[in-house]
Amino acid sequence: MTEISSHTRKFQKELNAGTSSLILLSVLSRSKESMYGYQIAKMLEESGPDIPMMKQGTLYPVLRSLEENGLLESTVEPSVSGPPRRYYKITSDGREALKEWNEIWKITKKFVDANLKG
């Protein structure tokens, strides 16, 4: 595998910061049940195993931020196999934000694609 430049790592980090919330709201909006962080991380990993877009270490701060902003809510439940787990689910405000952010993403993607093609 080729060495990734520091410029590329920085760009990827900034790009991920802007899309992580959108992705997490989308994943949780499609889930019938609340999900805990590791479960979400594994699901994301399986959806694009060759494209490591979101590391587990960055997942939890984004989940906390979404919860602080009222877009997610969580409950802590005991775990049979270890420490208690925090389960997240999307709120009605989160669903509304997801609709709005999805529209912004479509417009942004169209703009970026058009300009990259020249």
Give the whole-angstrom CA distance, residue 10 versus residue 5: 9
Provide Rg for the chain, Cα atoms: 16
pLDDT, position 2? 61
How many folded domains does the chain comprise? 1
**Is residue 81 assigned to a domain?**
yes
Q: What is the CATH number of the domain that holds 60?
A: 1.10.10.10
**Is residue 1 assigned to a domain?**
no
**Is residue 96 assigned to a domain?**
yes
Give the whole-angstrom CA distance, residue 41 versus residue 45: 6
The tens digit of pLDDT for each residue in 32-68 reads 999 999 999 988 888 776 666 677 778 999 999 999 9
Domain carrying residue 27: 6-117
Query: What mean pLDDT comes out for the span 95-111?
Result: 96
Tell me: pLDDT of 118 over 80: no
Tokens representing 23 are 């992705």
**Is residue 43 assigned to a domain?**
yes
What is this structure's pTM? 0.85
The tens digit of pLDDT for each residue in 13-38 reads 888 878 999 999 999 999 999 999 99
**Is residue 88 assigned to a domain?**
yes
pLDDT, position 87? 97
pLDDT, position 113? 95
